[in-house]
């Protein structure tokens, strides 16, 4: 078993989620499909977060994980990620 196979075995079935930027890129979509098909993670495809009506909700999630961040910093971090 190679290194990648061992890594896959360790994370498979753990119910992990992963956010992938540039959700309109065909390569990203293919990677998301593969992650789901192999049971490695539940992908979340992101588009342009700055244009999302959920930007404030995303920023609040960022702040929950980093309580020292101001709302303005959280919004900026979400947009540039």
pLDDT value at position 66?
92
Q: Residue ranges of the domains in the chain?
A: 1-47, 49-81
* Better pLDDT: 80 or 43: 43
pLDDT tier at 48, thresholds 50, 70, 90: confident
Q: Could you give the 3-state DSSP secondary structure of residue 42?
A: strand
For residues 13-38, average pLDDT: 90
Whole-number average pLDDT of the chain: 88
Task: Read off the pTM.
Answer: 0.57
| Helix and strand totals (H; E) in the chain | 4, 2
pLDDT value at position 33?
95
Do 35 and 18 touch, CB atoms closer than 8 A?
Answer: yes
For residues 30-51, average pLDDT: 89
For residues 39-56, average pLDDT: 85
């Amino acid at each position: 078993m190679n290194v990648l196979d061992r890594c896959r075995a360790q994370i498979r079935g753990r119910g992990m989620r992963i956010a992938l930027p540039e959700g309109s890129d065909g390569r990203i979509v293919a990677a998301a499909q593969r992650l789901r098909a192999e049971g490695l993670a539940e992908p979340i495809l992101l588009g342009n977060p700055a244009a999302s009506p959920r930007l404030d909700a995303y920023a609040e999630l960022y702040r929950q994980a980093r309580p020292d961040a101001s709302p303005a910093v959280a919004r900026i971090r979400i947009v540039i990620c």
